[in-house]
Amino acid sequence: MSRLAFTFREDRPWPSLRLTSSAIVGHTTTESAKIWVRVHAAGEYCLFVSEESFDRGLQPVEFQKGGFGQGWVQFAGKQDPTPGAVLRQEIGYGTDATHVFEVEGLKAGKEYFYGLFSADADREERWEVGRDRVHRFRTQAEGAEKIRFGIFSCHMPFQDRQVKNMHMWRFFREILETVDADFVLGCGDQVYTDGDDSVNIWSWLKSHKKEVLKLPVAEQRQAMLSWYRDIYRGYWGDAELRRVFRSFPTYMIWDDHEIMDGWGSYTDSELSNVLDTWYEWENKKKNLALAGRMFQAAKQVYQEYQHGHNPKTPNGVYDYSFQWDRLGIFVLDMRGKRDFKAPQARILGLPQKKRFEKWLESPKAASAKVLFVVAPVPVVHLKSFVSNYLDLPLLGIADDLRDGWEHESNWEERDWLLDQVFQISHQRKQTVVILSGDVHVGASFRLTRRAHPDAKVYQLTTSAITYCKSPGRLLRLAVANRGELEYRKKGTPSPTKRVQFHRLGKVFTANNFAMVGVNIPAQGEAELYWDLYGAGEESDELVRLNRLNLK
Q: What is the pLDDT of residue 395?
A: 37
The pairing of strands 327-331 and 320-324 is antiparallel
Q: What is the pLDDT of residue 287?
A: 93
Cβ-in-10-Å burial (0-12, 13-18, 19+) of 148 comes to: buried
212's torsion region: left (phi>0), alpha (psi -120 to 50) or beta? alpha
Q: What is the pLDDT of residue 550?
A: 80
Which structural domains are found in the chain, ordered by start? Answer: 30-138 (2.60.40), 146-549 (3.60.21.10)
Instruction: List the beta bridge partners of residue 544.
Output: 534
Asked whether the CA dihedral 376, 382, 383, 385 is positive or negative, the reply is: negative
Rounded Cα–Cα distance for residues 550 and 454 (Å): 14
Rounded Cα–Cα distance for residues 389 and 300 (Å): 37
Rounded Cα–Cα distance for residues 264 and 410 (Å): 12
* pTM for this prediction: 0.94
Residue 62: how many other CB atoms lie within 10 Å: 11
- Give one DSSP letter per residue of 335-347, joined into a string: STT--TT-SS-TT
Q: How many CA atoms lie within 13 A of 141 on its CB side?
A: 12
**If residue 366 lies in a helix (H) or strand (E), which one and from where to where?**
helix 363-367
Q: What is the pLDDT of residue 352?
A: 97
Residue 474: how many other CB atoms lie within 10 Å: 9
Residue 41: how many other CB atoms lie within 10 Å: 12
Collapse the DSSP code of 128 into the 3-class scheme (helix H, G, I; strand E, B; otherwise coil) and give the result.
strand
Residue 80: how many other CB atoms lie within 10 Å: 8
The tens place of each residue's pLDDT in the chain, 551 residues long, gives: 678 999 888 889 999 999 999 999 999 999 999 999 999 999 999 999 999 998 878 999 999 999 999 999 999 989 899 999 999 999 999 999 999 999 999 999 999 999 999 999 999 899 999 988 889 999 999 999 999 999 999 999 998 888 988 999 999 999 999 999 999 999 999 999 998 899 999 999 999 999 999 999 999 999 999 999 999 999 999 999 999 999 999 999 999 999 999 998 888 888 998 888 756 666 899 999 999 999 999 999 999 999 999 999 999 999 999 999 999 999 999 999 988 888 788 899 999 999 999 999 999 999 999 999 999 999 886 554 454 544 444 334 444 666 777 777 788 899 999 999 999 999 999 999 999 998 888 889 999 999 999 999 999 999 889 987 655 555 555 666 788 887 766 566 778 889 999 989 888 888 999 999 999 988 888 999 999 998 876 656 666 666 778 86
CA 124 to each of CA 28, 118, 121, 434: distance values in angstroms, whole numbers, following the listed order: 33, 10, 8, 50
Asked whether the CA dihedral 469, 472, 474, 476 is positive or negative, the reply is: positive
Q: At residue 182, what is the residue type?
A: D
**If residue 186 lies in a helix (H) or strand (E), which one and from where to where?**
strand 183-186
Q: At residue 6, what is the residue type?
A: F
507: nearest Cα among 453, 544, 550: 544
Q: At residue 75, what is the residue type?
A: F
Answer for the pair 160, 199: CB distance below 8 angstroms, yes or no: no
Rounded Cα–Cα distance for residues 165 and 158 (Å): 9
Asked whether the CA dihedral 223, 227, 229, 233 is positive or negative, the reply is: positive
Q: At residue 506, what is the residue type?
A: K
Please count the residues of the chain.
Answer: 551
Rounded Cα–Cα distance for residues 334 and 348 (Å): 6
DSSP 302: H
130's torsion region: left (phi>0), alpha (psi -120 to 50) or beta? left
Q: What is the pLDDT of residue 46?
A: 98
Q: What is the pLDDT of residue 486?
A: 76
